[in-house]
Amino acid sequence: MNRRERKGGGGHGSERIGQLVDGRYRLCRLIGKGGMSSVYEATTEGDDRRVAIKLLHPTLASDSDAVARLHREATILSAIKHPNICRIFGVGNTDQGSPYIVMERLCGETLARRIANDGPFEFSDLATSLKQVLGALEAAHVKGVMHRDLKPENIFLVETRPGTKTLAKLLDFGISSYLDGGPKDCRLTRSGMVMGTPYYMAPEQARGDSSLDQRADLWALGVVMYEALTGQRPFVANNYNTLLIEILRARPKPLADFIPFVPEPLAALFNRALAKDSKERFQSARAFATAVEQVEKLWGEQGITPPMWSSDAQRRASFDRGPLSEDTEVMVSRFREDGTEVMDDSRRGQLGTDLSETRDEE
């Protein structure tokens, strides 16, 4: 059991283990816990099939926005149906009235944990997972859905048989939104709210723009790609507001500052993925995936066969990310008309902790 699983053992967590949900699902183990819900491994009564159950915390069962978000996530997952998105089997309510989602139980680890355990990736090892996630994003965007919280913790690398390709799954559409605004009852964010995990926010997301589109997701994947290849996030700061300024104004360090061998096509891919102006970025997941494929192709055609790192020892020696925030909560902030941030004391403390901690796996 990893730290994230153990960490959820407080309220709304381990006390539910052993309970029978809706007369059908026996909760076996706490997998993860967030601000609004917990995820359990469960077995179905009668055939012992293993599934994952995402349960809204009981204290939020009467919160109409929280309930609507969980139901919307279930609706979105049911509509997209892509091999690289976690499958949903059903929805329901506990006897206490808390809604839940039944999903496939995945075996493996998150990209965040893989980076923490093994250090930076070689591009050739990362490319397959990138293209799979981009395929999942394309399917979501075609359905008019933006993920809004793409990060290493929400990309799951499924265990596969030796000799087979890695299977990446995109997780957690809990704060996703409709690209066209969607029906009124699905507009669960108000103007001026910033939603997402701060390190992966696109500039327009950090500004609190109301007209976000798929390019914010593609920026976030660019940040994930940078982090997977270097072991560092491109934008860091000691507090929330400074981080937003970094995202809006600063340029990330070139890959060559971390990696001994960076082919020009790969550097160019990053420059486009992390362009501040969304018009200069990849305009679609398909275009991003095509660029990844072109870098792979050039890699072979131009005889670029050496790895980016001269040795595995060098790769791991360069890896000093600090603690990885796998348990970072989704941050939500509101802004007054004068631009100052509105935040209650408890959330202010949470943000200060999340952004000042060093970034290694806890």
Do the Cβ atoms of 318 and 120 come closer than 8 Å?
yes
Pairing of strands 20-21, 25-33: antiparallel
Do the Cβ atoms of 16 and 28 come closer than 8 Å?
no
Crossing angle for the helix pair 264-273 and 285-301, to the nearest 10 degrees: 170
Q: What are phi and psi of 209, to 5 degrees?
A: -60, 145
Q: Report the 10 Å Cβ neighbour count for 38.
A: 22
Question: Which is the catalytic residue, given 149, 172, 217, 327?
Answer: 149
Query: End-to-end distance of the chain based on CA atoms, in angstroms?
Result: 13
Do the Cβ atoms of 114 and 161 come closer than 8 Å?
no
108-110 sheet: strands from edge to edge = 108-110, 155-158, 167-170
Helix then strand then coil, in percent of the chain rounded to 5, is: 40, 20, 40
Distances (CA, A) of 187 to 107, 129, 221, 242: 34, 31, 24, 28
Report DSSP state, residue 309. S
CA atoms of 222 and 288, how far apart (whole Å):
9
Range 288-297 contact pairs with CB under 8 angstroms and sequence separation of 24 or more: 288/134, 288/218, 288/221, 289/130, 289/131, 289/134, 289/135, 289/138, 292/127, 292/130, 292/131, 292/134, 293/131, 294/265, 295/123, 295/127, 295/263, 295/265, 295/266, 295/269, 296/124, 296/127
User: Is 47 marked active-site?
Assistant: no
Contacts of 138 (CB under 8 A, 6+ apart): 284, 285, 286, 289
Q: What are phi and psi of 272, to 5 degrees?
A: -75, -40
CA atoms of 122 and 263, how far apart (whole Å):
12
Would you please indicate which residues are annotated as catalytic (active-site) residues?
149
